[in-house]
Amino acid sequence: MPARSRAPCFRGASGGREWALPCRRPRRGGRCLTTRRTVCIVQKRDTEKMYAMKYMNKQQCIERDEVRNVFRELEILQEIEHVFLVNLWYSFQDEEDMFMVVDLLLGGDLRYHLQQNVQFSEDTVRLYICEMALALDYLRSQHIIHRDVKPDNILLDEQGHAHLTDFNIATIIKDGERATALAGTKPYMAPEIFQSFVSGGSGYSFEVDWWSVGVLAYELLRGWRPYDIHSSNAVESLVQLFSTASVQYVPTWSKEMVGLLRKLLTVDPKHRVSSLQDMQAAPSLAGVLWQDLSEKKVAPGFVPNKGRLHCDPTFELEEMILESRPLHKKKKRLAKNRSRDSSRDSSQSENDYLQDCLDAIQQDFVIFNREKLKKSQDPVSEPLPAPEAGDAVEDQEGARPALPTCGSICPSRLTES
């Protein structure tokens, strides 16, 4: 693969309105805990369609051993597309960064809305459960376990529909395989994940994501989770917790909602609701028009306010201040780096290992263009014009810079909520 790969041409976009992107930056003492993914809003020049673009610094990914996670997420996202997922449209790279261009969802994530004390109705939560059921059913058909379903990873569009994002710790299992790794966010992880880690056994499967949906739904309705679990809890103590503690349901909740939550929060995965077929057979969902729901014809009960920013603006401001390698200065920076590298004797380099890793990323990174793929699969589509030469970031020179908004980063294998 050439050092400067061809890519779709984007320009930064901010305009006069307030753009909303998820704000999920685990921090300690003002320092990011894992590889940072900066997010900005971009517009594709030929179609003028808006997207969210994440970019990840290669050197940071290498130093923090996150390259495999990034590649795994890209591998998964390039193969899937669903109405209730945050879909990947393009992936490309330059010397510094790896880029992922995805659906732009302006409604914020459910964690933000919980923190704003939004009171979610049963009908709204039921709709989220059904939309996630369709997403998880699709992922199961693709042999994918998400392993990190939680409010932080569910983004709303401007109409209020839910979309699952962040496949950084997802895994693929086929032919009756079982997953065994301790991966996820502890308060949302199913009991069998902890049990598998402590005592071994047969591992776990797709049912773990449905448990997470149950925890999520309970939290949206009540404001806190059904079990008092934190990242600091020992795994052994959590195995004991699930065998002794019981979930407390609010008396004012409807019997139908309590019944649905009970089915999702069943400790034994064999008896847990864990498929679309199970959901469609649930008495509490008998009136759901699944076809209309899959086409987004069912209006959500909660619609994010279009006149406000659905993330913490202090993070946006901090991101803009701390961004030491902004995209709009990338062209000059890369040119300077190339000039410096060409004048240096490679045998005298003190960073041979790092350079080997960077070269490996450059070679193994897969460029992806869903728009081009769709057109190639459409027999009546017109031939595509030849791609423009040069990197997308180079084309930003002279245009309005892509302002970093709310930064999101690769979660570690076990993240705190």
Query: Which sequence positions are flagged as catalytic?
Result: 148
- And the tokens for 214? 């149950």
- And the tokens for 268? 């034994």
d(CA 243, CA 61): 39
Helices 191-199 and 235-244, packing angle to 10 deg: 130
Q: Which class for 417: exposed (0-12), middle (13-18), buried (19 or more C-beta within 10 A)?
A: middle
Helix/strand/coil (H, E, C) string of 352-392? HHHHHHHHHHHHHCCCEEHHHHHHHHCCCCCCCCCCCCCCC
Nearest partner of 165 among 54, 33, 261, judged by Cα: 54
d(CA 116, CA 338): 47
Contact 365, 357 (CB under 8 A): no
d(CA 327, CA 403): 8
Strand 414-415 with 184-185, pairing: parallel
- And the tokens for 356? 């080997």
d(CA 236, CA 182): 12
